[in-house]
Structure 1
Amino acid sequence: MFLKGKETPPRTIGLLTDFGVTDPYVGQVKAVLARKAPACPVVDISHRVEPFNVAQAGFFLASSYMHFPKDAVIMAVVDPGVGSDRRIVGVQIGERMLLAPDNGLLALALGNAWTEEVRAFDLTVAVEARGKVARTFHGRDVFAPLAAWIALGGEPGSLGAEIDPADLVAPGWARPSVKPGKAVAHVLHIDRFGNCVLSLEAGTLPAAGRVDLVSPAHGELAFTATYADMPDGKPGLLEGSQGFMEIAVNQRSAARQLGLSMGDRVEFAWEE
């Protein structure tokens, strides 16, 4: 059982999972939050992350957390290693607290948090603090009570040790390579329009007039400011609204046209 936190105004709790909406899992998580922190607003980022897709969840988190109130607590649970010896961690970016398994889910958020103070805590002890816990559902039995406790004033440092954020898991897909005239990244997400979101933050690539897609497909990409600026039926590259670069085709699916899938490694080249 967590000790009662100090009295503070209720904080917003954000939820991001791969639990879907057809099973009772999300409802059970929200029921725990309603019981333990009834005054805290709960905002869903998404529960339709592709099952086990940590990279997609990392993108959803990195592109969303800054839109929450500055003191929000965001619980991100895409956890293929649930019940194993993977850590449960909390990362404080400014005043916001992000809770997640230490499996790379936090890597992109940490990568774009350079303007704010960042602290990290190993909160794995929360599993033992909760008593009876289903080893296959830490989202309900560990993360939700932990999120409620912090939202009501619990101090992460009183529960677990502070750790170096640089020691958190950082998979290869979260570390794009950008060198003069070339770049390597991964497709993090394909949205409902067929736009391919890349692991390249907006502003990473020079705004060249043309960028060549070298692999896995081949073709010329027009570097544009908007979808409408793209040549008719031709793929282009632009800085998307979520803070990352996108490959897109105006009013068509870039993923279908170029044969791209989530997780693909993509290579670009351009003239300096």
Structure 2
Amino acid sequence: MPIITLTTDFGEKDYFAGAVKGAIYSELNDVRIVDISHSVSPFHISEAAYIIKNAYKSFPKGTIHIIGIDSELTPENKHLAVKLDDHFFICANNGILSLLAAEINPEKIVEINIHDKIQTNFPVLDVFVKVACHLARGGTLEVIGKTISEIKYMREFEPLVNSEKNQILGHVVYIDNYGNVITNISRKLVETVGKGRDLNIQARRVNFSEIHETYSHAINFNIEKEKRMEEDGKKLAIFNSGGYVELAIYKSNPSSVGGAHTLFGLNYLDTVSINFK
């Protein structure tokens, strides 16, 4: 049974996500639809890329992923269908593909050219669904588009390493449901540049001297609970499950005590630096 996933900024209030699912079921009786997220911030390309990049790898090879972010067709925002890591992605050529393909080169990219056959002002519903269903039936990419090799890149989302190899400059790319702050600095980059040296992370007014493996790794469970100086509310840096440096508050609650986002005063694209000694 083919699987089609949906990642959009549609939210839960409007009919858009439901209409897309209905259109898929109208074309395919035997299909499974999985919602990855409909709560991406409106038009937030890097946020959507972070979510789908860390989710798609858990799906079987051959899964088809519809990404409905900034998808209106314009001369500068064409539509793409891509085979990448044995998965299919249908999205706009707005830079999101370059973020997904930062470490893995696409196997094939086509610019979708079926728009003359479809009247639409809702391309995710009309165009992306048609392409997804075509692929789910076993159709090829060449039937729905022309092969291209150039895509729009978003170079500004790549962390920088200074010439002395003792500093990484990155920035905030995502804030999760717990208020934790995720950077674009990968574990691989930290280990490659750092080479085991001591480090200091700076982000506005907060500093960290260690990157933990998990949230609970920051807590000394050898000390009796009532004698621990810090536990809930402790600030920490970790390598998260996606393999990126994350700044967090242990057991934070954004609706009450606050999360790292508010308590550290960090927002999207704020600078985070790692200095090695």
Is TM more than 0.5 here? yes
TM-score range, shorter chain: 0.7 to 0.9
Residues 15-58 of structure 1: CA deviation (Å, up to 9, x unaligned) = 00000010000011111101112211111100000111111001
Larger Rg: 2
For structure 2, the 5+ residue unaligned runs are: 220-229, 253-258
1:44-123 to 2 correspondences below 5 Å: 44-79=35-70, 82-85=72-75, 86-113=77-104, 118-123=107-112
Supply the distance in 2 between the matched residues of 1:213 and 1:202 (Cα, whole angstroms).
13
Q: Which amino acid aligns with 2:250?
A: N
Give the paired residue count. 253
**Structure 2 equivalent of residue 193 of structure 1:** 178
The letter of the residue matching 1:120 is I
Secondary structure at the aligned position of 1:106 is classed as helix
- DSSP 3-state at the match of 2:188: coil
Cα distance in 1 between the residues matched to 2:270 and 2:107: 30
Structure 1 match to 2:226: none
Listed as ranges, the matches of 1:94-173 within 5 Å are 94-113=85-104, 118-123=107-112, 125-130=113-118, 132-134=119-121, 137-164=122-149, 167-173=150-156
Q: Against the structure 1 CA distance between its residues 265 and 138, is the aligned structure 2 distance closer, same or farther, given a 3 Å change threshold? A: farther
> Among the aligned pairs, what percent are the same residue?
24
Matched residue, 2:256? none
* C-alpha separation in 1, matches of 2:199 and 2:237: 8
- The 8 Å contact of residues 16 and 75 in structure 1, kept in 2 or not, is answered as yes
2:245 is aligned to 245
Which stretch shows the higher mean deviation, 238-247 or 216-225? 216-225
Q: 2:161 aligns with which of 150, 171, 178?
A: 178
In 2, are the aligned partners of 1:224 and 1:230 still within 8 Å (CA)?
A: yes
Residues 226 and 94 (structure 1), Cα distance of their counterparts in 2 relative to 1, 3 Å cut:
closer
CA distance in 1, matches of 2:171, 2:90: 24
Equivalent position SS for 1:74? strand
Q: Which amino acid aligns with 1:256?
A: T
Q: CA RMSD in A?
A: 2.1
The one of 261, 264, 268 aligned to 1:262: 268
Kindly provide the CA deviation profile for residues 86-139 of structure 1, in whole angstroms up to 9, marking residues without a partner as x.
11112211321011101111222201326xx6221111x132232x111xx211
Greater relative CO (CA pairs within 8 A, separation 6+): 1
Amino acid aligned to 1:133: T
CA distance in 1, matches of 2:172, 2:135: 33
- 2:5 equivalent in structure 1: 14
Query: SS at the partner of 1:204?
Result: helix
CA distance in structure 2 between the aligned counterparts of 1:174 and 1:264, rounded to whole angstroms: 12
20-29 vs 185-194, which moves further: 185-194
* Structure 1 range deviating more: 38-47 or 167-176: 167-176
1:210 and 1:77 map into 2 onto residues whose CA distance is: 42
Q: 1:203 to 1:160 in 2, by over 3 A?
A: same
User: Which range moves more in the overlay, 46-55 or 225-234?
Assistant: 225-234
Structure 1 residue runs without a partner (length 5+): 1-9
**Superposition TM-score, scaled by structure 2 size:** 0.83
Shift of 1:158: 2.4
User: Which residue, 211, 230, 233 being the options, matches 2:199?
Assistant: 211
Change (3 A) 1:209 1:16: same
